[in-house]
């Protein structure tokens, strides 16, 4: 694929991610912070998000398996996940976290388990999409293109 086609694909893909609610304005803010001094800033922050989220999702699964569920602890983890997803613009993940916290407050184990499943799903979707986006970016750079376009 030539550079122009790659760039077109990149723009279309990125637009669709915003359109489908996977990313919001905060992601744009992240990109605006990236500069020549920190050319990998967005990838770095997103990688931190991936690591942190995976840790939190594991903690959540473990916490929900307990005999006596500690809802305060679960809420604390979901609060963290909500915060970090909001900080990088992962809107759909953030939205599930809001519902998750409501079920925590109600001490509704069924609701919590459903939300855990949902948040896992949304997380894995946004992870895949961001990785594809970064890959496209890399292809453009390799083909001699630059950012911003």
Partner 1 sequence: MELMKSENIVQDRQPQPQEEEEIMQQEEEEEQRFHVLAVDDSVIDRKLLEKLLKASSYQVTCVESGEKALEYLGLLHHSSPASSSSSQHHHQGHKVNLIMTDFSMPGTSGYDLLKRIKGSSWKDVPVVVMSSENVPSRISMCLEGGAEEFMLKPLQLSDLHKIQAHLLKSLPHS
36 lies in the site for partner 1, by CB under 8 A: no
- Residue with smaller CB distance to partner 1, 37 or 67: 37
In b/e form, how buried is each residue of 87-122, taking b as 16+ CB within 10 angstroms?
bbbbbbbbbbbebbbebbeeeeeeebeebbebbbeb
33 lies in the site for partner 1, by CB under 8 A: yes
Q: Which of 88, 92, 89 is nearest to 45 (CA)?
A: 88
Taking CB under 8 A as the criterion, the residue among 12, 20, 40, 44 binding partner 1 is 44
Task: Quote the least distance from Cβ 87 to partner 1, whole Å.
Answer: 5
Taking CB under 8 A as the criterion, the residue among 32, 40, 54, 105 binding partner 1 is 32
Per CB under 8 A, which region of 74-82, 109-117, 118-126, 139-147 contacts partner 1? 74-82
Q: Which of 80, 32, 9 is nearest to 17 (CA)?
A: 9
- Residue with smaller CB distance to partner 1, 29 or 132: 29
Per CB under 8 A, which region of 43-51, 64-72, 116-124, 141-149 contacts partner 1? 43-51
35 lies in the site for partner 1, by CB under 8 A: yes
**CA–CA dist 85, 99 (Å, integer):** 14
DSSP line for 29-89: HHHHH--TTSTTHHHHHHHHHHHHHHHHHHHHHHHHHSSS--HHHHHHHHHHHHHHHHHHT
Total chain residues near partner 1 (CB under 8 A) = 22
Residues that bind partner 1 (CB under 8 A): 26, 29-30, 32-33, 35, 38, 41, 44-45, 48-49, 52, 76, 79-80, 82-84, 86-88
């Amino acid at each position: 694929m030539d550079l122009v086609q790659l760039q077109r694909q990149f723009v279309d893909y990125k637009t669709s991610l915003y359109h489908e609610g996977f990313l919001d304005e905060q992601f744009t803010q992240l990109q605006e912070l990236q500069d020549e001094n920190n050319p990998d800033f967005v990838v770095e922050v997103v990688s931190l998000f991936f690591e942190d989220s995976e840790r939190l999702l594991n903690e959540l699964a473990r916490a929900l398996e307990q005999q006596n569920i500690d809802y305060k602890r679960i809420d604390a983890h979901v609060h963290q996940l909500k915060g970090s997803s909001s900080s990088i613009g992962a809107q759909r993940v953030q939205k599930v976290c809001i519902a998750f916290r409501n079920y925590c407050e109600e001490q509704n184990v069924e609701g919590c388990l459903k939300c855990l499943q949902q948040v896992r799903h949304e997380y894995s979707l946004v992870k895949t999409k961001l990785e594809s986006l970064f890959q496209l970016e890399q292809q453009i750079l390799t083909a001699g293109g630059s950012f911003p376009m």
